[in-house]
Amino acid sequence: MPWQKFEALYQAHIKREAVTEITEVRNAQIAGLWANTNLDPQKEGENPRGDLLKEVYQNYVDAIKKLYNQYEEKEDSDYINWDDPFFKAMKVPSNPYYANQSIPHDHNLPTIGEPG
């Protein structure tokens, strides 16, 4: 079918444009890091700019991998502390990750319709 060929070619074109834009963002970030004199090493063995440049490059590679569906997501449990109240609020039944887990109910709180 001709429309399927068009869709495939258009999708490839959009991905190439996205890679171009990601590359432009990376180049702007690198230029900004090199222009920032606050990142010059203050002591021997210190290299804050180099560390940031490595992170920019890694983020660039990860963004392109995500674009082409070659990125492996990290597990939430590896870097999220679910005991933190900020993250506990995300444990709602509508979240598919927690659909099978029970959510504890605070029995001390009044429910709707109960007097105060």
User: What's the pLDDT tens digit per position in 73-85?
Assistant: 665 556 677 777 7
Domains of the chain, by residue range, sit at 1-37+48-100
35-54 pLDDT, tens digit each: 988 888 888 778 888 889 99
Chain mean pLDDT for the chain: 78
Q: What is the pTM of this model?
A: 0.58
Check if the beta carbon of residue 108 is closer than 8 Å to that of residue 98: no
Distance CA 36, CA 29 (A): 11
3-class SS at 52? helix
The arithmetic mean of pLDDT across residues 63-71, rounded, is 86
Q: What is the percentage of the chain residues whose pLDDT exceeds 70?
A: 70
For residue 12, what are the contacts with CB-CB under 8 A and spacing of at least 6? none
